């Protein structure tokens, strides 16, 4: 009976020891052992099945995969504007220094380290830029924050895989001031466009008036020097009238007077010729007046 009890106790002890002598480290994890006699052991155990002494050793398992974390920090710019910046940080512990991390920081090393160093680096970098530069030079700001933050986290044996600015906002007062400035600039540009349009329209009217005056001058000169010009205009008018009538669906009978082609109407030619002479005299008189004004002498007008 005693032998049976001893055998059962031995079997139970072996079973307990066999079950508690081994532990498994999952993928993406590492472990270290805490000994009740000597404290933390220096060896880092990799993935898979590992051995430990029951009761004497206690495994501490760390997740060494990159963990995302979003940190928001209010800070001030170079021109004393309040800026709210949010960073997305991918961090993981250095697998080769897990013992040091456990001694100095413990298992919640991310909570102890990242918020403080992120606030420190953000305030240091953002203070070098104006509010407008933070927007126009965002990539430069992001690179400076990442480089300094990676170096600072390395002092705590933390590896930063990536650092990115996810949000950048300003105070409500500054945002309203920027919007008012943009509206004022747009209104100024609109006013400048309207002024330029008015100048162009005015120049167009001047050119048009000069063209009409020049055309009137040439027409008067043609009438004064060549009375046959009027007959040519009458023929052109007759051609236009006949073309319009020909395209009409209505039937219409025209005579030579309607078409300005009555060649026996000498009275009209005489009248037009007299008008052309008077136009020529007016043109000559206007030229003399312009020459007198240009020369600084104004002819005296004598009342009859």
User: Residue 221 burial (CB < 10 Å; 0-12/13-18/19+)?
Assistant: middle
What 8-state DSSP symbol labels residue 248? S
Q: Residue 14: which residues within 8 A CB-CB, separation 6 or more?
A: none
- pLDDT per residue rounded down to tens, the chain (304 residues): 666 766 666 666 555 555 678 889 999 999 999 998 888 889 999 998 888 888 888 999 999 999 999 999 888 898 888 899 999 999 999 999 999 999 998 888 888 899 999 999 999 999 999 988 998 899 999 999 999 999 999 999 999 999 999 988 887 777 777 777 777 888 888 888 988 988 898 888 888 888 878 877 777 777 677 766 666 777 777 777 777 767 767 666 666 555 555 545 555 555 555 555 555 555 555 555 555 545 554 444 443 3
Contact (CB, 8 A) for 152 and 158: no
- Closest by CA to 134, choosing from 71, 83, 194, is 83
Dist. CA 45–CA 31, nearest whole Å: 5
Q: What's the pLDDT score for residue 117?
A: 93
Q: What's the pLDDT score for residue 230?
A: 66
Q: Residue 178: which residues within 8 A CB-CB, separation 6 or more?
A: 170
Beta strand ranges found along the chain (DSSP E) = 22-25, 29-35, 39-40, 48-51, 57-63, 67-76, 82-93, 158-170
Task: State the pTM of this model.
Answer: 0.56
Token pair for 11: 């079997």
């Amino acid at each position: 009976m005693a032998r049976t009890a001893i055998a059962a106790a031995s079997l139970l002890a072996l079973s307990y020891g066999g079950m508690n002598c081994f532990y498994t480290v999952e993928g993406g994890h590492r472990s270290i052992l805490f000994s009740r006699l000597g404290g933390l052991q220096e060896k880092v155990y990799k993935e898979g099945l590992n051995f430990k002494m029951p009761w004497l050793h206690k495994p501490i398992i760390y997740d060494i995969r990159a963990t995302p974390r979003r940190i928001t920090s209010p800070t001030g710019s170079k021109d004393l504007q309040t800026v709210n910046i949010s960073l997305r940080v991918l961090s993981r512990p250095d697998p080769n220094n897990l013992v040091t991390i456990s001694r100095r920081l413990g298992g919640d090393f991310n909570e102890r380290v990242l918020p403080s160093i992120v606030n420190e680096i953000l305030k240091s970098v953002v203070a070098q830029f104006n509010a407008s530069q933070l927007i126009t030079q965002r990539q430069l700001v992001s690179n400076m924050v990442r480089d300094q933050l990676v170096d600072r986290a390395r002092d705590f044996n933390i590896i930063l895989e990536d650092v990115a600015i996810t949000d950048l906002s300003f105070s409500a007062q500054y945002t309203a001031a920027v919007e008012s400035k943009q509206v004022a600039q747009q209104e100024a540009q609109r006013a400048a466009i309207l002024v330029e349009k008015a100048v162009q329209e005015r120049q167009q009217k001047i050119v048009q008036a000069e063209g009409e005056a020049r055309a009137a001058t040439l027409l008067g000169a043609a009438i004064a020097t060549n009375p046959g010009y009027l007959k040519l205009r009458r023929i052109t008018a007759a051609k236009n009238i006949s073309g319009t009538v020909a395209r009409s669906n209505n039937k219409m009978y025209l005579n030579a007077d309607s078409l300005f082609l009555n060649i026996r109407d000498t009275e009209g030619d005489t009248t037009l010729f007299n008008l052309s002479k008077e136009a020529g005299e007016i043109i000559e008189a206007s030229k003399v007046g312009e020459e007198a004004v240009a020369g600084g002498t104004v002819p005296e007008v004598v009342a009859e």
